Structure 1
Amino acid sequence: MTAILFAAFFVTLAIGVPIAFGMGVATVVALAWGGTIPLSIAPHKMVNAVNSFPLVALPLFILAGALAGETSIAPRLVRFANALVGHIRGGLGHVNVAASMFFGGISGSAVADVAAIGSLMVPAMEKQGYTRTDAGAITITASVIGILIPPSIPMVLYGVTVGESIGALFLAGLVPGILVGLALMTAVFFMSKRKGWPQSERRAGAGELWASFTAAFPSLLLPVFLLGSIVSGVVTATEAGVIGVAYALFLGGVVYRDYTPGELFRILIDTAISTAIPLLVLATTSVAAWIIAIERFPAAIVGFFNQAQLGPIAVLALINVFLLIVGMLMDLVPALILFAPILLPVAKAAGMEPIQFGVLMVVNLGIGLVTPPVGNCLFVGAVIARVPVMQLVRAALPFIAVNIAVLGLVTYIPAISLWLPRLFY
């Protein structure tokens, strides 16, 4: 049935059926082809997949990010980032990356990062001498940080899918997220000399730095508070999501007064739609994952690698290559849900812990968000920068290479993603 499942799924993809529906059709075709399992098992598995208390964290974090994105949080974070690093050569490029690091700790979404930061930074960078293409390239590649620095929506989905601690996954993504940011800022620094990118402005004085920090402090406090409360065991990830929504409402409605009742209603509607899509994907993909599991497909892959006598380095390299290709062809959510249960046993056989593998998958598929032909961040960035997609891809290639280099470090140096979780779990 597994072969029929994949064949039917890729046929539906080829003819343009949305992934959630295509996966549902593929599972029904596979079950009907096998003939030994009643079709009624499909809705049963779908309901069980989304009937999960930890999964409630998903819409809550999406709502918190949406609420934050509609406030003056992003401009305040950009102002603080500018005060910190704007004086360095290629300053606004550094500001772009640093702002993504800060905003990623609030939104948990790469696409939200591109939309919020890109709309502010691309016009500002153009005024200072950057091309719109270069500004867009920095923006989309920095968005990978948004799904690594906690809270992270993909980490929630991975934790629910494979049964790992969401708090430990949040901690595991923190150092890799910072590492991606520092690596991109290094690339910006060296490219600024070659391309003649200017400094943003003079070095901010102590008073200006303090003023920008105090303006951004309530926003910066949110990810620190959420992660601290989860790691300390005071709340679960789901309960932290409730706190995040309440805090975002307090900031936007009381402190900054950015909301109107009409805007709040629109945010709730948009959040419902944004939540329904991954949940439907999770529901249909869970049936496919169950079919794959009962046919012992992951065990067969492990057996194949054992017979091939490939070492752990080669196995993990092949997993990375496979996921980079998958990320180009599928969106992050369905790819994560479908392939995590399949590839995790292979990674474990190669000596990788599940928490580290979660970070590896998120970095991998995050790179897929900025590569054609499916990358959501790529297309959003092209719209914001008003440049052709392939022109943006060419400009982003050096930064994508930097992200892939960080992926290599995450793959072969376990301490990068595991030392923080080991301190607390």
Structure 2
Amino acid sequence: MTVHMLLGFVMLMLLAMPVGYSLVISGWAALSVFGSMPSSMAVLKIFQPTQSFPLLAIPFFILSGSLMMSGKLGQKLVGMASMLVGKYPGGLGQVSVVGSTVFGGVSGSSVAEASALGSMLIPWQKREGYPGAFGAAVTASSSVIAGLMPPSIALILFATVSNTSIASLFIAGVVPALMLAGGMMLACYITGRRRGFPIIELSYTRREVVQTVLNALPALLMPVFILVLLRAGIATPTEVSIIAVAYALVVSGVFYRDLNGTRIMAALTNTVITTGVVMLIIAAANIIGYILTSGGVPQAVAQWAVEHLKDPLLIILAINLLLLFIGMFLDLPAAILLLGPTLVSIANAIGLDLVQLGIMMCVNLSIGLFTPPIGTTLFVAAAIAREPIGRVVKELVPFYLVALLVLLLVSFVPALIIY
């Protein structure tokens, strides 16, 4: 049954069918046609995981991010980032990284962040004399910080697969996210200085500095607000997501005063579409996970790894190589839900903390988001910049090095993320 499912999935993918539909059809066919399960039971297996209470956090976090990102917030964040780092070599690239870091704490979605920030910052960088391919590379790579900053949708998905605390994953993701941000800012600085990118001279009075920081403060407080509520045990992740929506409504309606019916409808529409895509993959991954578990695949893979690779450090290295390869072809949510059960079994067999495994998976698969041939943020940023993919990939080399260094640190220095 497992072989039939895998063959069906590969064939449908080769026919260019979307991942979610490929998973559902191949899984349903394997259970009802080649297995002994009635079609009605197979359908129940598909829809069962979507009824989980913790998953309610996903649409509410998406809605809160959509409400805040579609108004004046983006302009305020860019203004603050420009004030902080715009005057340094490669400053406009650093503005993108700072903006991505803060936006990551609002949206939780790398693709949404690449689209929203890229449409603002890439044209600006090109007007100031920066190469379009460099602007696309910075946007494509820095946008993946959203996969680690709370309220990361990817970490919520891993928590549902592994029965790990969402709060623990959110807290553990902050340090790697800041390491990525710091490393990418350094890469922008070195590249800008070496290649002589224009330096933007910006002068601010003390009053303007204070006003700019105050304008961006609501967005800066969002991830802090989430972590405090979760860490203190004041609310569950689902409750926090609902509070986040209320917070976004208050900030947009009272602080920025740019909330209207059109923005609310646009945010609701985006939430419904994005949630539908995520839930389809969750439903499909459940039936695939059931087939793999029934066939004993996770346990067999874990046993093989322990018997043949033996050394836990070597097994962790093998996990990273597998995830880097898979991330080049599968989108992040689908890869987490598909590989999660097997990798959790391996982690339990070698004593690897599941929080560390979750961060490793998110960093690995985030690298895949800006890596050919399927990299989503890479294609979004290249399309905005109107640059060939090959040229953007050349500019991405220093950012790949930063991401790989952070990956090695979270994989082999667990003290950085486990408190």
Deviations 1:88-133 (A, max 9, x none): 2211111111111111111111111112221221122222221111
Most deviating of 84-93 and 200-209? 200-209
The amino acid across from 1:143 in the alignment is S
Contact 1:61-1:108 within 8 A present in 2 as well: yes
Distance 2:279 2:35 in 1: 28
Structure-2 residue corresponding to 1:422: none
2:81 counterpart letter in structure 1: A
Which residue of structure 1 aligns with residue 16 of structure 2?
16
Corresponding position of 2:81: 81
Q: Distance in 1 between matches of 2:278 and 2:332?
A: 10
Structure 1, unaligned runs of 5 or more: 420-425
Partner of 1:234: 234
Rounded Cα–Cα distance in structure 2 between residues aligned with 1:236 and 1:200: 44
Residue 396 of structure 2 aligns to a residue in which SS? helix
Q: Could you tell me which amino acid in structure 2 is paired with residue 132 of structure 1?
A: G
3-state SS of the aligned residue for 1:329? coil
CA distance in 1: counterparts of 2:255 and 2:194, whole angstroms: 43
The whole-number CA distance in structure 1 between the counterparts of 2:130 and 2:348 is 45
Q: For 1:272, what is the secondary structure of its paired residue?
A: helix
- How far apart are the structure 1 equivalents of 2:51 and 2:378? 33
| TM-fit CA distance, 1:309 | 3.7
2:115 is aligned to 115
Aligned to 1:306: 306
C-alpha distance in 1, partners of 2:147/2:407? 14
> Which position in structure 2 is the counterpart of 1:31?
31
Match of 1:146 in 2: 146
TM-score (norm 1): 0.95
Q: How does 1:55-134 map to 2 (within 5 A)?
A: 55-134=55-134
- Where in structure 1 do 4 or more consecutive aligned residues deviate above 6 Å? none
Shift of 1:310: 3.5
- Counterpart of 1:221 in structure 2: which amino acid? L
- How far the C-alpha of 1:401 sits from its partner, in A, is 2.2
Question: Is contact 1:70-1:258 (8 Å) kept?
Answer: no
Query: Which residue of 2 is the match for residue 156 of structure 1?
Result: 156
**1:208 Cα offset (Å):** 3.2
Alignment partner of 1:51 is 2:45: no
Cα displacement (A) at 1:39: 3.1
**Aligned amino acid, residue 256 of structure 1:** Y
Q: Tell me the C-alpha RMSD between the 2 structures.
A: 1.6
Deviation of the 1:176 alpha carbon: 0.4
Give the Cα separation in 2 of the matches to 1:351 and 1:385. 45
CA contact (8 A) 1:87 1:204 kept: no
How far does residue 293 in structure 1 lie from its aligned partner after superposition?
A: 1.0
**CA-CA distance at 1:34 after TM superposition:** 4.0
- Superposed CA offset, 1:196-217 (max 9, x none): 1233325655433322111111
Give distance in 2, aligned partners of 1:417 and 1:2: 35
Deviates more, 1:38-47 or 1:189-198: 38-47
- Please tell me whether the aligned partners of residues 164 and 355 of structure 1 are also in contact (alpha carbons under 8 angstroms): yes
Matched, 1:271 2:256: no
**Partner AA of 1:184 in structure 2:** M
**Amino acid in the other structure paired with 1:139:** T
Q: Indicate conservation of the 8 Å contact 1:162/1:341, yes or no.
A: yes
SS in 2 for 1:40: helix
Distance 2:174 2:357 in 1: 14
The 1:203–1:356 alpha-carbon spacing in structure 2 relative to 1, beyond 3 Å, is farther
Partner amino acid for 1:87?
A: K
CA contact (8 A) 2:81 2:99 kept: yes
TM-score (norm 2): 0.96
1:413 corresponding residue in structure 2: 413
Quote the offset at 1:390 in angstroms.
Answer: 2.5
Structure 2 unaligned runs (5+)? none
Contact kept in structure 1, 2:56 and 2:238, CA below 8 Å: yes
> How far apart are the structure 1 equivalents of 2:98 and 2:27?
43
SS at 2:125 equivalent? helix
Report the equivalent of 1:255.
Answer: 255
Range 199-208 or range 51-60, more displaced: 199-208
| SS of equivalent to 1:218 | helix
Whether the 8 Å CA contact 2:4–2:34 is kept in 1: the answer is: no
Asked if 1:182 is matched to 2:147, the reply is: no
